[in-house]
Amino acid sequence: MLAMRSFVIGQPIAHSLSPVLHNAAYAELGLDHEFSKLEVAPSDLSDFVKSLDEDVLGLAVTMPHKQQIMGLLDAIEPLAEAVGAVNTVVPSSKVLSGFNTDVYGIVQAIREAGGAPEGGRAVILGARATASSALAALGHLHIRDVDVVARNFAGPGYIALAETRLGVTTNHIPWRDEARAIAAMNSADVIVSTLPSGRADQWAKLYQPKPGAVVLDAAYDPWPSELAKAARAGGARVASGYSMLLHQACQQVELMTGRSAPVDAMRSALLKATGLSSL
């Protein structure tokens, strides 16, 4: 395969660890490709997409572009369409196709942490793009009883539209209803926090995990988060955002290269980059 270029695009982008994962995969697979970060402002996204050359293998797409880029693509997989967010773009024969690998990343991160009982209860903290992916992931895990805690639920890019497309119903708990939110969290088998770093701290102070619960906090800087600390202290099993990041990148590698992702090599590279002993 000829040498190709790939990028992760977003704003800001300096913090992204995607190059660590993708370049480790390319090296392990013996591919002379290069993956790098590229800061793209929302106002420049359309021109950037139109300028993609034939040597571009693919794009990893992060905030704030996951919804906006959908209108610039030629084809979108049904899952990404339903969730309302694309985090992966693969050009092929001048056709730009969009995919969502966050759903896979969330599923695999929860499974690695010990899994979740079918028919269990879940809480999603937040209601934007990653929350919509979490809702689809919980469906894959056969969890249908879901509470969503957020300030807003409806509007462009919010979870209410994803619920309609996915054909599911959740219980909406307003952010201000602290008692109801904590009661839901304390009885949940799975909690997925999709909030920015620090936003879940107020819930961590009151959270008393259900025995055997799994908590995934997508925010991994700093790690462990206050929510992760509270979960571990209470005996819950914890999945980090790093684990989600690893697995969604594995599926991106497979979509872009057509090769099976070298998970162990990618995990080792991420551990080295973060200084962690485990994800």
- Rounded average pLDDT over 81-107: 96
The strand ranges marked E within 11-74 are: 34-39, 56-61
**Alpha carbon distance 134, 106 (integer Å):** 7
- Rounded average pLDDT over 11-30: 96
Is 66 in the active site?
yes
Residue 108: which pLDDT band, with cuts at 50, 70 and 90?
Answer: very high
Give the count of beta carbons closer than 10 Å to the beta carbon of residue 122.
26
Kindly report whether the peptide bond that precedes residue 12 is cis, defined as omega within 30 degrees of 0.
yes
Catalytic one of 66, 205, 210, 229? 66
Q: Do 112 and 239 contact (CB within 8 A), yes or no?
A: yes
**Predicted TM-score (pTM) of this structure:** 0.96
| Res. 39: pLDDT tops 80 | yes
pLDDT in tens, 179-199: 999 999 999 999 999 999 999
- For residue 268, the model assigns a pLDDT of 98
pLDDT in tens, 53-87: 999 999 999 999 999 999 999 999 999 999 999 99
pLDDT in tens, 129-153: 999 999 999 999 999 999 999 999 9
The strand ranges marked E within 102-246 are: 121-125, 145-150, 171-174, 190-193, 214-217, 237-240
Residue 117: which pLDDT band, with cuts at 50, 70 and 90?
Answer: confident
